[in-house]
Structure 1
Amino acid sequence: MNPVKVENLTVAYQKKPVLSDVNFIVPEGKLIGIIGPNGAGKSTLIKAVLGLIPKASGDVEIYGKSYKPKDKVVGYVPQRGSVDWDFPTNALDVVLMGRYGHIGWFRRPSKKDIDFAKESLRKVGMEDFADRQISQLSGGQQQRVFLARALAQDAKVYFMDEPFVGVDAATERAIIELLNDLKNQGKTVLVVHHDLQTVKDYFDHVILLNEKVIATGPTEETFTIENLHRTYGGKLAFLEKDQIMVETKRR
């Protein structure tokens, strides 16, 4: 049974299609990059799959069932820029929010839940910041806390919206190490990603998107010059073998 299946998904803003007739199936236990130019609908795709924005049409299945936001099988890391970092809460409380699907919104977390949250912080190197207000953390530290919250959800499928944006090199290495750990546990991770130079190093499978799916499949077979031209248009200049720089107009 496939972790994620999307059929005929269309999303429109003010009657203007942002995604049109999107179809794809992803394999289990893989790191999957969602790749495309600015304005291609990558973040919209994740939000529509998760039911955070309405669909004009189409169906989404997670492990063969219609997805409902309360399902514990899915974890989500939003774009860091979409979060109110001035909200008065500390890192541990943010991570504990990831446990609410397991404990319920009106029950107090147990010692087991608190220990699980602390272990999630440890895995991202933030155990010493558990009591720190999130507004006092650096951008990279904030991103690690949100990754820890996703770990605390203990999901089978993870959606991450540009987790590498605005982080330093050390945090990026820590994130990709964490993603590989999740994959090695049999989890499936879908990541909106913009740095084409790291796609082949990071992902087993890609979805090339520009308002519709241009191509999808194993990275070695799908991440090709031809498919990138179809996805981006514009100029493609090869810096080195297997390294790509794309210059495109912002849409």
Structure 2
Amino acid sequence: MEALNVKDLQVAYDRKAVLEQVELSIPKGSLTAIVGPNGAGKSTLIKAILGMLKRSSGQISILGKPYSPKNRNVGYVPQRGSVDWDFPTNALDVILMGRYGHIGWFKRPSKQDIMLAKEALHKLGMADYADRQIRQLSGGQQQRIFLARALVQDAEVYFMDEPFVGVDAKTEKAIIDLLRELKHKGKTVIVVHHDLQTVLEYFDHTLLLNRTVIANGPTEQVFTKDLLQKTYGGTLAFFSPTGDKRVMS
């Protein structure tokens, strides 16, 4: 079964097309990067799939069924910059929000729910920050809290919008370790990613996007000079995993 299937997706802002005729499928159990230049529609794609943006056309299915916001098998980690970090709540309470699909919005978390939230804090190196107000955390710490919230949701398909942006090397390692653990458990993780240097190392499946799908498939087949050139245009410089600089023109 495919984790995600999209047919003829189109999204427009003020009558200007942002995504056009997007057709794609993502295999279940993959760790997928969505890669493309600024303005390519990467975040828009995720939001349109999840019904956060109105689409002009398109059919979306997740795990073989039309997507519903009530589907607790789908988790979402937004861009850190889109979150109101002044909201008066602490780290543990934010993580427990990931359990609401299991316990309901008007019921108190059980001891099991609290235990799972604390385990997620520990796993992401944040055990000492359970009672800390989220506005008092650094950017990397805030990102870890949102990832912990996704972890306790125990979804089958996760969408993450640039989780590596603005974090230090230690936090980046913690994030990729978590994503690999989710994949090992059979989960599907779909990530908007901007760092071309780490695509080959981190992801087994890649979607190249620039308003429409340029290529979609196993990373070693898709992450090529010709397809990246077609996606980005102009001159593109990046570093291979071996440290050799490559320039595409």
TM-score, normalization: structure 2?
0.96
SS in 1 for 2:197: helix
Shift of 1:237: 3.2
Distance, in Å, in 2 between the alignment partners of 1:243 and 1:167 is: 24
Alignment of 1:1-251 (within 5 A): 1-237=1-237, 239=239
Distance, in Å, in 1 between the alignment partners of 2:225 and 2:33 is: 16
Paired AA for residue 55 in structure 2: K
SS in 1 for 2:54: coil
Paired AA for residue 129 in structure 2: F
Number of residue pairs aligned between Structure 1 and Structure 2: 248
Pairwise CA RMSD of aligned residues? 1.6
Shift of 1:239: 4.5
Deviations 1:28-87 (A, max 9, x none): 111100000000000000111111111110011011100001101111100000001111
Judged with a 3 Å threshold, the aligned counterparts in structure 2 of structure 1 residues 209 and 246 are, in CA distance, closer, same or farther, namely: farther
Deviates more, 1:206-215 or 1:8-17: 8-17
Shift of 1:155: 0.2
Shift of 1:23: 0.8
SS in 2 for 1:237: strand
Judged with a 3 Å threshold, the aligned counterparts in structure 2 of structure 1 residues 43 and 246 are, in CA distance, closer, same or farther, namely: farther
Deviations 1:136-174 (A, max 9, x none): 101100000000000011000000000000000000011
* Structure 1 spans left out of the alignment, 5+ residues: none
* Structure 2 spans left out of the alignment, 5+ residues: none
Judged with a 3 Å threshold, the aligned counterparts in structure 2 of structure 1 residues 133 and 243 are, in CA distance, closer, same or farther, namely: farther
Distance, in Å, in 2 between the alignment partners of 1:78 and 1:247 is: 31
Percent identical: 67
Paired AA for residue 28 in structure 1: K
Distance, in Å, in 2 between the alignment partners of 1:65 and 1:221 is: 28
Shift of 1:104: 1.0
Judged with a 3 Å threshold, the aligned counterparts in structure 2 of structure 1 residues 29 and 246 are, in CA distance, closer, same or farther, namely: farther
Judged with a 3 Å threshold, the aligned counterparts in structure 2 of structure 1 residues 14 and 245 are, in CA distance, closer, same or farther, namely: farther
Distance, in Å, in 1 between the alignment partners of 2:203 and 2:45 is: 18
TM-score, normalization: structure 1?
0.95
SS in 2 for 1:51: coil
Distance, in Å, in 1 between the alignment partners of 2:12 and 2:243 is: 35
